[in-house]
Amino acid sequence: MYTMMQVCRELDMTYQTLKFYCNEGLIPNVKRDHNNRRVFDEKDVKWIKDLTCLKKCGMSIREMKDYLALCMQGESTIVQRKEMLARKQEALLSSIKELEDSVAYIEWKQNFYDEVLSGKRPYVSNLIRSDE
């Protein structure tokens, strides 16, 4: 069994986040020790890792609760869970594409500046008007 602080250290999570997840009902069947403090077993820790990943994937608390509710219903909801994850995956892939486009722009602009600084090309700006 793990205390809240042990789980936090293990998963590099703040105490406040873990407490929030517990209070929001995102960690089902939370157990308590003889002092009424929350304790977690290996399955709980694995689920908390899953929650952390879902959060990093951009899931809202509401979406995580919906996903948890489906998980708690068992095997019969696997198709729904797969669809939910597929939608999130599609959004993440779109975000990755946008980031790749942004990185490509910065690389292009850096190369442009390098060429200007080395004298390989003249400096041209779309912002500075010249008399032509």
The two tokens of residue 19 are 């407490």
Burial of 18 (0-12, 13-18, 19+ CB in 10 A): buried
Provide the number of structural domains found in the chain.
1
Q: From residue 9, how far is each of 22, 52, 85, 88 by CA, in Å? A: 16, 14, 28, 28
Residue 101 lies in a domain: no
- Quick: pLDDT tens for 47-67: 999 999 999 999 999 999 999
The CATH number linked to 10 is 1.10.1660.10
- Distance, CA of 6 to CA of 72 (rounded, Å): 25
Residue 38 lies in a domain: yes
Residue 24 lies in a domain: yes
Residue 132, pLDDT score: 59
Q: Tell me the mean pLDDT in the region 94-110.
A: 97
3 Ramachandran zone, left/alpha/beta (phi>0; psi -120 to 50): beta
Residue 23 lies in a domain: yes
Write down the pTM of the prediction. 0.78
Burial of 48 (0-12, 13-18, 19+ CB in 10 A): buried
Domain that holds residue 32: 2-72
Share of the chain above pLDDT 90, in %: 91
Residue 29 lies in a domain: yes
Residue 64 lies in a domain: yes
